[in-house]
Structure formats: structure tokens, C-alpha cells
Amino acid sequence: MPFPRSSGILLHPTSLPGNYGIGELGKEAYDFVDFLHRSSQRLWQILPLGPTGYGNSPYMSYSAIAGNPLLISLELLRERGLLESQDLENLPPFPLDRVDFDVVIPWKTSLLQKAGKRFFGGGDSIVYTQFDGFCRGNSGWLEDYALFMALLNLYEGSPWTHWPDELRHRHPSALQRVREELKEEILLQKFYQFEFIQQWLNLKRYANSLQVSIVGDIPIYVAHNSADVWSNPSAFKLDPETGNPTQMAGVPPDYFSATGQLWGNPIYDWKYLEKTDFDWWLKRVEGVLYLVDIIRIDHFRGLEAYWSVAAGETTAMNGNWIKAPGAKLFGAIKDKLGSLPIIAEDLGDIDEEVQQLRDSFGFPGMKILQFAFGTDSDNVHLPFNTAENSVIYSGTHDNNTTVGWYTNDANDYEKHQLEQYLGHSLSLHNVSWDLIRLAYSCVANQAIIPLQDVFSLGSDARMNRPSTTEGNWSWRYRREALTHEYSDRLSYLVKLFGRDRG
């Protein structure tokens, strides 16, 4: 589905500023939308919104549909009387430029628990009716998710494969027993989702009212330790006794790692999914489209053929490409949901079959300017080789910032080629905006820039380093950074290069 010519900013909500250690869906989120509007931006791209586990990666979530309770605005809870002003005093010494997850998670969870207990201890029948309607309307995923999280807390974070046999194998009598035993914790988990989705949808409606669309993200795989795998084991390649993956996901050696990336997620049992008319995937896409306007499918190539690594391997080097029924999957999604507002993350080891799958459904692909200058004029990421139906980026959340790339990653040849392309010498002060201008001037219908590049920040503002497990996903900006100078520069480029047609 081609999109109108437009531009946007890549920023995950955890990176928003604020007083409580992590970005939230309150005032600062609305201020960011106002900044997008002032800057003539039509797109806000985010990372997956799900609740995160070990490593805090939004790509390793406990649920494919649920939202991250850490994003719930404490101020909005206070305004509704679910927290008191003194609850938000005597804050831990949160850093301003980073999320200290080890401090934020226990502190904020205790306040969310307090808010939940006040919610259920109150007497607002109208809100209870709304909550009951939310639970019934989302029961298809919410019941299993809330129970999974309650059990995860009961077993102190141990993965579901370490739970007692009757729970690991989901014996009905055992599930019924723990639902009764853990009913208060299950209600709290449902309350968190009720609050998250209310706050998020209010924010989305505000963004849409200012002609800003939300670009969400679907990781192709889900975490093994998730409600999805625990409640749908037949959809994955698992050992029927232990529940452990028999085949793991990843990619072969690439730009980011000489030994490949071994993600460890379980591979889908595509034969089973096809027999069910891809019901699990249909519900997943439908659930995410309820929260966003456009979906970016991460690792799109894995829906044409995926890299499968046997359990027990320690790197992704020894794997095999196996065909996936991507055309049948997208056909089923289109039959149920109509035209597909999907962006294909078609980076990495891409062959003609992947391109054919992308193009047969009209999905725009992705181009990255940081990848454009390492070879010759045939490089597919160069602006003059880019198709209109594509999205161009200076870099993504997996790349270094542009200043960091220029300082630490780009070799002399790449710097020389970039200078030749621009027709002037480069400076560290201007290189981010040189790439922003290149992206905006490109024929690609959409241009999306990480906020770090708007601010011309260095490597310390990088969001993620693939194949590493520590120090990622934590960058935040300060509220005073969203200046009118940046808005004016972005608006000027939008009008200059006709990116106000969306």
C-alpha cells in the first residue's frame, strides 16, 4: 500500500522526558506530538509497545498485543484520584538522560499496584462498567496474558518452562485453581492493560487530530518466555515435553555481527498455522492495528524464508534458510482486514523472492543512508536508486546515531563518497542535517529520522547495539531540547521537498 509523500520522527515512548525515570504517556508525550505538528511531521514511528523482560528489549516482550505498564502516566493516575500527590514525592535519584531500569521497575510497579488497589476499592460504577467491557472485549488475549504475568510473579520471574508440569502443560484443573488463587494479581494485570490502552488511545486520537499517524512495529518473532508461546505452544517448534525450542530464530553473519545474530526465539510451526488459516497471526495484526495506524514488520524477509538454527548452537552461523508461506499469510490478512498499511523492513540478506513478496502486496521497503556510501553507484540505499514506494532513514534504532556513525563507524572511503555525493566537505557539526536533507530530497514517499539525529547527538545517545544485551534501550532526551529552531528547520525542509502531502 503506497503512502503519501511525508516525513516523520523515530522515537520510542520510553525516551520521552519527565520526572519519573522513564518516558510516559502524559504531558510530555502530548508535547512531543505538538512538536511533530509544529515541525510539519506526519509520522511518529515507535518501537513495539509490549511489556519487556530481561534486557528491557521491546523486541523480547511478554506479549505480542499487551502494552508496557511502565509507560502508564503516573500524573494521569493522580488526576483521576488513583494516586495522591505525596505518592509522587521523594523520588529516587533518576538520571535525566537515561532510563535506569533497575531503579524504575520496582519503584513504579509499587505505585501501579497502589493505584490498582485504589481503583478496585473505589465505588465508581461507570468506570467499573468500562473496565468490565474492556476485559470482555479483549478476553481473547487478556485472560491468558494476565494469568501468565500473575504466574510469572508467583515464580519470581522463572520462565514458564520451569513451572510445575500441570501449569507448563496448561492442565485445565490446574489453571482453574491458580486463577482462583491469584485472582487479585490477575485483576491488577488487567487493570494495568486497561489504563495503558486508555492512555495510549487518547494520545493516538490527539496525534491523529493533528494529522500525525503512528507507525507501530511488529517483531516477526515473539519471546519464548511469553504468554503467546505458553498459551499457543502448537504454533511454535517446541519440544512437547519440556516446552523448549527445537529450532531458534536468528540471521546469518551480517553487517552487525561476524557470527550472525542468534535471537533464541522459537521458530513458528508454519504448517500448523496454515491449517488454522493463520488465526494467531490475524489476531496479532488486528490487535496491533487497534493501537497504531501503520505497521512496520521487523525482519520481513523471514516471512518469505527464515534462518533456522538447531537448539544447542551458540552462534547463528550453522543454520539453514527455510521457506515460509508469506504470500498465503498476507493474503489471509488482506481478506480479513482489507488494504494493508504495512512497511516491510527488508534489510539484510535480501533476494529476489523477498522483493517479489514485498512488491506483490505493494509494501514499501526501507533504505538506510548510513548503508549507502560503502560501495559504488549501484548501492540500493543511494537516494537516486530508491523507489517512490519506500521509506528512507538516516539510520534506525539498530544503527549508531549519524554523528556516532561518522565519528566511529564510517571508513575513509564512505566519508569520501558522501562528500562527493553532497558536493562539499563534511563537518561533525553538520553531518546529521546533511543526511536529513538527503533523506527529505529523496523520491521515497516517506522519510523518517531518529530524534537523536535531529539533535545531532553522538554514540552515547544510541538506542541499541545488536548482539549486545546490556546498556540498550535507555536513551532519553530532556524536555528543553524540543526547540522552535528544530521545528523551523524541519518545516522548511518539508515544504522545500514537498513532504506536506500526507
Per-domain residue ranges of the chain? 6-496
Bridge pairing between strands 319-323 and 305-310: antiparallel
**Burial label, 292 (beta-carbon count in 10 A; 0-12, 13-18, 19+):** buried
| Spatial contact of 499 and 3, defined as CB atoms under 8 Å apart | no
Q: What is the pLDDT of residue 126?
A: 82
Tell me: pLDDT of 56 over 70.
yes
Q: What is the pLDDT of residues 149-192, one digit of tens each?
A: 999 999 999 999 999 999 999 999 999 999 999 999 999 999 99
Rounded Cα distance, 179 and 151, in Å: 9
Tell me: pLDDT of 502 over 70.
no
Question: H-helix or E-strand containing 264?
Answer: strand 261-266
Q: Mean of the per-residue pLDDT values for the chain?
A: 96
| Spatial contact of 406 and 431, defined as CB atoms under 8 Å apart | yes
| Spatial contact of 141 and 66, defined as CB atoms under 8 Å apart | yes
Bridge pairing between strands 390-393 and 6-10: unpaired
Compute the CA torsion angle 105, 107, 108, 109 (nearest 10 deg): 70
- What percent of the chain has pLDDT above 70? 99
Q: How confident is the model at residue 70 (pLDDT cuts 50, 70, 90)?
A: very high
To the question of domain 6-496 being in CATH 3.20.20.80, the answer is yes
Q: What is the pLDDT of residues 476-499, one digit of tens each?
A: 999 999 999 999 999 999 999 999
Q: How confident is the model at residue 429 (pLDDT cuts 50, 70, 90)?
A: confident
Q: Any catalytic annotation for residue 470?
A: no
Residue type, position 90, single letter: N
CA 128: distance to chain centroid? Answer: 30
Identify the bridge partners of residue 61 per DSSP, sorted by sequence position.
52
Catalytic residue among 195, 228, 298, 346: 298
Q: Any catalytic annotation for residue 345?
A: yes
Tell me: pLDDT of 114 over 70.
yes
Residue type, position 367, single letter: K
Catalytic residue among 345, 346, 414, 453: 345
Tell me: pLDDT of 138 over 80.
yes
Closest CA to 57 of 255, 226, 292, 200: 226
Q: What is the pLDDT of residue 501?
A: 74
Rounded Cα distance, 38 and 7, in Å: 13
Three-class SS string for 385-437?
A: HCCCCEEEECCCCCCCCHHHHHHHHCCHHHHHHHHHHHCCCCCCCCHHHHHHH
How far, in Å, are 94, 409, 442, 447 from residue 433 at the CA level? 31, 18, 14, 13
| Residues 326-340, mean pLDDT to the nearest whole number | 94
Q: Any catalytic annotation for residue 500?
A: no
Catalytic residue among 144, 217, 398, 453: 398
